[in-house]
């Protein structure tokens, strides 16, 4: 029985339980709802929750665990040599799964009978052709072992499905009947329901923790797998980034330095654009601008923050890049020939700077507004001009907050992906020329994970090592920024 169907059955049970239990509660109070401990609906909700929640948790757990168990059982049937080599093992298992899925599909389309699918033998039938006819393309002919394992796989999967149906529905029925039995006019249904709701609330709040744990685990395990096959020192101190997909393993240079150099260089260009413009805009808008100007200009700047990064990426690739090439490139207006292609560190940095302007300006705006008015009044009262007040009183007072804002902007710049994927070029270089193509950590994560490489090759796994460094850097910047901002806020409140 499919999981969707089981899900629906559980829901139906829950709804039936709701009405049944509500009736029972009312009946136990002699039809007078004033004699009940809780409102009648609480008895119903209690039963519905008792039926649905445990059953659905079991169902979800089953869906996750069953494939793992089946893989392990099938894996145990493999010859020892294949079972030990992780790559070979996962290849064989993937083959087995594909054949088994193909057989399922063939049965469901009526091309094969169920019995036939279980009794096929590899030499008598041309399985590859028959599965191809239902739309399952196999890379090679199916050998006897794969076929036998695929048939075992189907058997286990079917056994699992039957057990799943029985167990889940049994859990639902047991939960429902316990709740039904307990229902009585003195039963404290509301307290039970509220406790259950509380558990659901806590579980939801824990999703954030689970997400972080998931991020850290998925990064760490794959990073460890990467360092198994690639020397750690060569990664962290290598100065060349030249992955090769043809000669797998060993032949690639996967040096981290050119990537982090490109990342920092582009982020630096972005911040040189965004920080002065953002900061001056914030000062102007919070200290000088009239209400009308402010109410027009502030939302306009904030629109820049709401535009998706893919749009900035395209803007860099197709508008800013060619424009810069016209000015700084070969035969350009300046005739300096610094630039040989539209995609360069400068292109990406400039556009990223535009993206960060509203980020810097709105954070700084908040911080400048948080400086107490008494400090302004004091300074102006002593005869300082407005700009002197800003430069010598407000900015020093707001400095920690502004530094925090800049750190947050830097963390955004370092983690930004689409602009650099489209605008910065693909060549990793340790150059000082901002008009040269450069690449970043994020761009290479995309390149390595969207390539055609084998998942277990170092060329693909390196993306996880890059991901963990990115995660650590941005997390560090954020923690530092939040710490600074929080410390500063405490001064004035």
Partner 1 sequence: MTDATTTPMAGRPAKGKSLLKADERTRKRNAAESRFKAYGLAAVLVGVFFLLALLWAIVQNGAPAFTQTFVNLNVELDEARLDKNGNRNIDDIKKVSTFGYNPLIKDALIRATADMQTAVEEGELDKILSSSVGAIVRDRVIANPDLIGQSVEFRFLASSRVDGYLKGRVSREDLVRDKNLDAAHLDLIDLMVDEGSVERVFNWDFITGLDASESRPEQAGIGVAMLGSLFMMLVVLVLALPIGVAASIYLEEFAKQNRFTDLIEVNISNLAAVPSIVFGILGLAVFIQFAHLPQSAPIVGGLTLTLMTLPTIVISTRASLKSVPPSIRDAALGVGASKMQTVFHHVLPLAMPGILTGTIIGLAQALGETAPLLLIGMVGYIATNYPDGVASGFLDPNSAMPAQIYEWAKRADPAYYERAWGGIIILLLFLMTMNFIAIILRRRFERRW
Pick the closer one to partner 1 by CB: 120 or 320: 320
3-state secondary structure (DSSP) of residue 253? strand
Stretch that binds partner 1, among 112-120, 152-160, 212-220, 325-333 (CB under 8 A): 212-220
Nearest Cα neighbor of 40 from 187, 157, 152, 140 is 187
Stretch that binds partner 1, among 139-147, 228-236, 258-266, 293-301 (CB under 8 A): 293-301
Binding status of residue 404 toward partner 1 by CB under 8 A: no
Q: Are 461 and 225 in contact (CB under 8 A)?
A: yes
Q: What is the dihedral of CA 180, 181, 186, 190, to 10 degrees?
A: -40
Nearest Cα neighbor of 234 from 465, 470, 449, 472 is 465
Q: How far is CA 318 from the centre of its chain?
A: 28
Pick the closer one to partner 1 by CB: 335 or 476: 476
| Contacting partner 1 within 22-81 (CB under 8 A) | 64, 67
Which is it for the CA torsion 47, 51, 57, 60, positive or negative? Answer: negative
Give the whole-angstrom CA distance, residue 137 versus residue 471: 39
Find the shortest distance in angstroms from Cβ 422 to partner 1: 6
Find the shortest distance in angstroms from Cβ 125 to partner 1: 28
Residues in contact with partner 1, shown as a per-residue x/- string from 73 to 102 under the rule CB under 8 A: ------------------------------
Stretch that binds partner 1, among 22-30, 146-154, 237-245, 311-319 (CB under 8 A): 311-319
| Contacting partner 1 within 145-174 (CB under 8 A) | none
Q: Which of 73, 162, 163, 207 binds partner 1 (CB under 8 A)?
A: 207
Which is it for the CA torsion 414, 416, 417, 419, positive or negative? Answer: negative
Binding status of residue 280 toward partner 1 by CB under 8 A: yes
Binding status of residue 297 toward partner 1 by CB under 8 A: yes
**Structure tokens belonging to residue 66:** 């069953």
Give the whole-angstrom CA distance, residue 364 versus residue 408: 11
Stretch that binds partner 1, among 50-58, 127-135, 237-245, 407-415 (CB under 8 A): 407-415
Q: Which of 113, 119, 212, 272 binds partner 1 (CB under 8 A)?
A: 212
Give the whole-angstrom CA distance, residue 388 versus residue 396: 12
Pick the closer one to partner 1 by CB: 130 or 188: 188
Q: Which of 75, 326, 474, 480 binds partner 1 (CB under 8 A)?
A: 474
Nearest Cα neighbor of 401 from 286, 266, 292 is 286
Q: Which of 301, 363, 410, 438 binds partner 1 (CB under 8 A)?
A: 301
3-state secondary structure (DSSP) of residue 493? coil
Token pair 């803007």 in the structure block, residue: 315
Q: Are 460 and 454 in contact (CB under 8 A)?
A: yes
| Contacting partner 1 within 183-202 (CB under 8 A) | 190, 194, 197-198, 200-202
Q: Which of 26, 96, 324, 354 binds partner 1 (CB under 8 A)?
A: 354
């Amino acid at each position: 029985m499919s999981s969707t169907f089981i899900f629906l059955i559980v829901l139906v049970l829950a709804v039936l339980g709701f009405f049944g239990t509500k009736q029972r509660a009312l009946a136990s109070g002699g039809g007078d709802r004033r004699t009940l401990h809780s409102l009648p609906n609480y008895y119903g909700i209690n039963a519905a929750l008792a039926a649905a929640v445990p059953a659905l948790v079991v169902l979800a757990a089953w869906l996750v665990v069953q494939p793992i168990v089946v893989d392990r059982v099938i894996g145990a049937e493999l010859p020892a040599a294949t079972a030990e080599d992780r790559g070979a093992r996962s290849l064989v298992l993937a083959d087995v799964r594909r054949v088994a899925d193909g057989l399922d599909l063939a049965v469901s389309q009526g091309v094969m009978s169920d019995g036939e699918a279980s009794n096929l033998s590899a030499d008598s039938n041309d399985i590859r052709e028959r599965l191809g006819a239902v739309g399952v393309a196999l890379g090679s002919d199916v050998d006897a072992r794969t076929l036998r394992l695929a048939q075992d796989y189907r058997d286990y999967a079917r056994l699992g499905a039957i057990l799943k149906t029985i167990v889940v529905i049994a859990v639902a029925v047991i939960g429902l009947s316990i709740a039904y039995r307990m229902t009585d006019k003195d039963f404290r249904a509301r307290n039970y329901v509220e406790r259950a709701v509380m558990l659901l609330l806590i579980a939801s709040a824990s999703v954030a923790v689970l997400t972080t744990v998931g991020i850290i685990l998925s990064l760490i395990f794959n990073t460890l797998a990467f360092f198994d096959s690639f020397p750690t020192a060569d990664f962290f101190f290598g100065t060349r980034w030249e992955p090769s997909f043809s000669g797998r393993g060993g032949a690639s240079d996967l040096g981290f330095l050119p990537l982090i150099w490109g990342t920092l260089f582009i982020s630096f260009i972005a911040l040189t654009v965004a920080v002065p413009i953002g900061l001056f805009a914030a000062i102007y808008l919070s200290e000088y601008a009239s209400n009308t100007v402010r109410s027009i200009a502030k939302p306009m700047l904030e629109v820049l923050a709401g535009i998706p990064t893919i749009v900035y990426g395209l803007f860099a690739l197709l508008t800013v890049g060619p424009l810069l090439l016209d000015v700084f490139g070969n035969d350009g207006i300046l005739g300096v020939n610094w630039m040989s292609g539209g995609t360069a560190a400068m292109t990406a940095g400039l556009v990223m700077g535009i993206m960060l302007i509203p980020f810097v300006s709105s954070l700084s705006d908040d911080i400048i507004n948080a400086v107490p008015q008494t400090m302004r009044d004091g300074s102006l009262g002593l005869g300082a001009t407005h700009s002197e007040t800003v430069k010598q009183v407000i900015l020093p007072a707001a400095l920690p907050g502004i530094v925090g804002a800049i750190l947050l902007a830097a963390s955004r710049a370092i983690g930004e992906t689409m602009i650099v994927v489209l605008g910065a070029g693909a060549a990793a270089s340790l150059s000082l020329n901002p008009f040269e193509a450069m690449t970043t950590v994020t761009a290479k994560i995309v390149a390595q994970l969207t390539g055609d490489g084998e998942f277990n090759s170092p060329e693909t796994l390196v993306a996880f090592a890059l991901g963990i460094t990115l995660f650590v850097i941005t997390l560090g910047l954020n923690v530092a920024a939040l710490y600074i901002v929080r410390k500063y806020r405490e001064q004035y409140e």
